[in-house]
């Protein structure tokens, strides 16, 4: 079984659609094995988005992700990383396929409702930023 990290981003939190978004993943057979609500600080945001350091949108990205509490979730399932990216849709909600989370809940590129890890390697790294192993359940 594979694990991946999902973040419900501040724009979705502020629009009260976290539950509706989490439901999308559960409906596709993904199991919640860890979950917490937290407000990311600048240090955590910069670590989580380290790959984008130096890009023109980096500062805005950090500002957005730290602008309200978020929900961090570890989902487990068969090919969880790839399946979650499919359920989430393209980065730009305007270009996301119909029925994806970003097409249905995203507003624009910065406010695209969710984060999903892009590879099993990055998923493991990202999960480690938010959770210790004893917070992740086997059931």
| Residues at the interface with ligand IDP (CB under 6 A) | 52, 57, 61, 91, 109-110, 112, 115, 118
For the bound state, the minimum distance from the C-beta of residue 90 to ligand IDP, rounded and expressed in Å, comes to 7
For the bound state, the minimum distance from the C-beta of residue 7 to ligand IDP, rounded and expressed in Å, comes to 9
- Is 48 in the active site? no
3 state SS of 119: coil
Order the strands of the 114-116 sheet from edge to edge.
31-38, 70-77, 2-8, 114-116
Give every CB contact of residue 31 below 8 A, 6+ residues apart in sequence.
75, 76, 77
If the CB atoms of residues 82 and 118 are measured against Mg ion, the closer one turns out to be 118
Which candidate in 48, 52, 64, 115 is catalytic?
115
What's the CA gap between 7 and 73, in Å, rounded? 6
For the bound state, the minimum distance from the C-beta of residue 92 to Mg ion, rounded and expressed in Å, comes to 13
Site of interaction with Mg ion (CB under 5 A): 118
The catalytic residue positions are 115
């Amino acid at each position: 079984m594979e694990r991946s990290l999902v973040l419900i981003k501040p724009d979705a939190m502020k629009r009260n659609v976290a539950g509706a978004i989490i439901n999308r993943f559960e409906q596709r057979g993904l199991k919640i094995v860890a979950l917490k609500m937290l407000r990311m600080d600048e240090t955590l945001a910069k670590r989580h988005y380290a790959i984008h350091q130096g890009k023109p949108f980096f500062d805005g990205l950090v500002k957005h992700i730290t602008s309200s509490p978020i929900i961090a979730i570890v989902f487990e399932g068969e090919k969880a990383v790839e399946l979650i990216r499919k359920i989430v849709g393209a980065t730009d909600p305007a270009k996301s396929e119909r029925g994806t989370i970003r097409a249905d809940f995203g507003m624009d590129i910065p406010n695209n409702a969710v984060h999903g890890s892009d590879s099993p390697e990055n998923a493991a790294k990202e999960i480690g930023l938010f959770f210790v192993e004893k917070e992740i359940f086997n059931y």
